[in-house]
Amino acid sequence: MNMDLVTEVTDAYLRTTTGSEAARLRFLQGIWDIQASIEGVGRPYDAPSENAAREAFAAGRPLFLVSAPEVPVVEYLEAVSRLAGYTSSMAGLAPEQADALRGADFASAIDADSLAGAVRSPEAFAAEVAGSLGAQPGGPLTPATLAFVLMSALVPFLTGPSVRARQALGDLGRGAHGTGRCPVCGADASMGRMGESSQLQGAERTLWCGVCHAEWGYERLRCVRCGCRNPDKLHYTHVEGDPAHRVHLCDECHGYARFVFEDDLGKPLSMVVEDAVTAKLDAVALESGYAVTGDGGSGSC
């Protein structure tokens, strides 16, 4: 993670942002600082060979299923402890929630086997840990808070291997991928960006993974969730006065994806920060009847 860029972009937003949104950005800036320090520790990773990577890419198989990074248990638990401590102090949790998070016995619920599963399915891993620790919605220790801490701790162990796995693809890694799921770890794309356009060609559309921070090319006229290519069923919308941040809606599967448009942005771009800034678009889509991954439409339109 380029913390110089993250700080520059965050500070730029904070100059025009107030209230709860500003508080959220400041809180996340602390999370990103912790993640960057964890990410900065060199760890071994055996990237797949070029042939194996290219075969997996062509078949739509995540590269981490070919060669998975190992997340050291002790280091991961230390990361969870740091992030849980920071979150309990700085996230504005109720006292009983902060105490429950600070006192959670993560070591009793996380081992090498569960961490290996976390690389394959972070959501299932978070749900398993939440169940082991007795987390319940509305209780002092909630599944949502645990998932945030567990995922925040996992990301910096995956970003370095993600870079090396993509490098194994060579030039192929910069081409268009056939789905809206990350070609490296298999997670659904968190959001995307529309690159700067020129007189000679239109803007390139790229998707971004919030789990391992991989980016990959994707067709401009295609639903990120179901693959629909019918222009009559695909459209962008945005909050008035903010054309740089848009949500791409699909009327085939009722899914959506958030995008940042570089031509309209007017500031340096960090996908980590943009993912946080565009979170408000989730409400715009949900209120209009769309779901982040859609309803399973065939995408045959």
Q: What is the DSSP letter of 197?
A: -
Summarize the confidence of residues 253-281 as an average pLDDT.
94
**Same domain, yes or no: 207 and 187:** yes
pLDDT at 298: 59
Where a domain ends, among 172, 207, 230? 172
In the block, tokens 């629909």 appear at 228
**Same domain, yes or no: 196 and 159:** no
**Same domain, yes or no: 164 and 228:** no
pLDDT beyond 70 at 89 = yes
Q: Whole domain around residue 48: which residue ranges?
A: 41-172
3-class secondary structure, 62: coil
pLDDT beyond 80 at 171 = no
**Same domain, yes or no: 48 and 134:** yes
**Same domain, yes or no: 159 and 194:** no
Helix segments in 143-219, DSSP class H: 143-167
Buried b (16+ CB within 10 A) or exposed e, 94-106: eeebbebbeebeb
Q: State the helix-helix crossing angle for 143-167 and 122-132, rounded to 10 degrees.
A: 150
* Confidence band of 199 (pLDDT split at 50, 70, 90): very low
In angstroms, the CA 215 to CA 194 distance is: 12
Q: What is the DSSP letter of 172?
A: G
pLDDT beyond 60 at 55 = yes
Summarize the confidence of residues 264-290 as an average pLDDT.
93
**Same domain, yes or no: 115 and 127:** yes
pLDDT at 176: 66
Summarize the confidence of residues 168-175 as an average pLDDT.
69
The residues near 299 (Cβ < 8 Å, ≥ 6 apart) are 223, 225, 226, 227, 228, 252, 253
User: Is 222 part of a structural domain of the chain?
Assistant: yes
**Same domain, yes or no: 123 and 195:** no
pLDDT at 98: 97
Continuous segment of H or E residues that includes residue 30: helix 19-39
Over residues 207-249, the pLDDT tens digits come to: 999 999 999 989 888 999 999 999 999 999 999 889 999 999 9
**Same domain, yes or no: 53 and 162:** yes
**Same domain, yes or no: 144 and 47:** yes
pLDDT beyond 80 at 191 = yes
Where a domain ends, among 172, 204, 219? 172
Rounded to a whole number of angstroms, the distance between the first and last alpha carbons of the chain is 38
The strands making up 234-238's β-sheet, listed across from edge to edge, are 215-217, 205-208, 191-194, 256-261, 245-250, 234-238
The CA–CA distances, whole Å, from 74 to 9, 79, 107, 110 equal: 33, 9, 9, 10
User: Is 244 part of a structural domain of the chain?
Assistant: yes
Where a domain ends, among 103, 137, 172? 172
Q: How many helices (H) and strands (E) does the chain have?
A: 12, 6
**Same domain, yes or no: 73 and 153:** yes
* Confidence band of 200 (pLDDT split at 50, 70, 90): very low
Summarize the confidence of residues 275-290 as an average pLDDT.
93
In angstroms, the CA 3 to CA 219 distance is: 30
User: Is 32 part of a structural domain of the chain?
Assistant: no
**Minimal CA–CA distance to 101: which of 84, 78, 86?**
84
Judge contact between 273 and 6, C-beta under 8 A.
yes
Summarize the confidence of residues 51-66 as an average pLDDT.
92
Residues in the chain: 301
User: Is 64 part of a structural domain of the chain?
Assistant: yes
Q: What is the pTM of this model?
A: 0.92
pLDDT beyond 80 at 91 = yes
Judge contact between 224 and 233, C-beta under 8 A.
no
Q: How many domains does the chain have?
A: 2
Q: Residue 203's domain is classified under what CATH number?
A: 3.90.1670.10
In angstroms, the CA 192 to CA 224 distance is: 9
